[in-house]
Amino acid sequence: MPPRDEQDFESRRQQIIDGALQVFSIKGFEKATNKDIATAAGIGSPGLIYHYFKDKNDLFGQVIEQRLPVLQLLNHHENEIMTKPPKDALIIFGKAFLGGLEHSKSIALMKLLLSEAFRRPEVADMINTVGPSRSIAFLTRYLTKQMSLGLMKPMNPGAAARCFIGSLVVYMITREVFRQPDAQQINSDTMVATAVQVFLQGIEISPTDNNQA
């Protein structure tokens, strides 16, 4: 168990991240002030934030990394997932990717990321470095490995990764942004299972394929 002072440091750090998530979700990145974040986090001084984070960019990046389930999955289980068979790996990845839809704060964060990315290129670069680029890079590596093992048809793994993730992104947008009634009737587990099934039917090598080779 970490020493008490380390536990206190991390507890306060997470407290600030939660406060920042609340403020960023309401005001956006540019309009959020340290005073707003300190008030939301329940800490006495806005300057205390810099004891835990280098600047607002650092804090914003940590909010994304710490509060998006798919990034937590990659932080702690990336090597393990790389060893799993395609169906298992894609279901685990897909459920984590959509995991934020189960929490109102995470939904607000995802909406914020979309709006900020469209409006401010510099913020889009920051978001991409922390989130989307990591997710796509991981899935590309995984698919490349499966293709090299002869378990998947040879194709551009980066394009294939985007095909899989794209189906999940469309689900998120139609459910939470456009609020389409039929999308809201599809739960996350069903969406992931369907996306995995459709994806693997197109990319996996079946016994028939091997017999014809």
Same domain, 161 and 200: yes
Q: How far apart are CA 162 and CA 77, in angstroms?
A: 21
Q: How far apart are CA 176 and CA 207, in angstroms?
A: 40
Question: 51 in a domain, yes or no?
Answer: yes
pLDDT in tens, the chain (213 residues): 567 789 999 999 999 999 999 999 889 899 999 999 999 999 989 999 999 999 999 999 999 999 999 999 999 999 999 999 999 999 999 999 999 898 887 888 888 888 889 888 988 999 999 999 999 999 999 999 999 999 999 999 999 999 999 999 999 999 998 999 999 999 999 999 999 999 999 999 987 665 555
Same domain, 96 and 164: yes
Distances (CA, A) of 25 to 66, 90, 134, 147, 175: 15, 29, 22, 40, 18
Task: Compute the radius of gyration of the chain from its Cα atoms.
Answer: 20
Same domain, 58 and 80: no
Same domain, 164 and 123: yes
Whole-model pTM? 0.91
Map tokens 């999955």 to a residue. 73
Same domain, 36 and 114: no
pLDDT of residue 106: 80
Q: How far apart are CA 178 and CA 162, in angstroms?
A: 22
pLDDT of residue 102: 84
Phi/psi region, residue 83 (left: phi>0; alpha: psi -120 to 50; beta: rest), is: alpha
8 lies in which domain range? Answer: 4-62
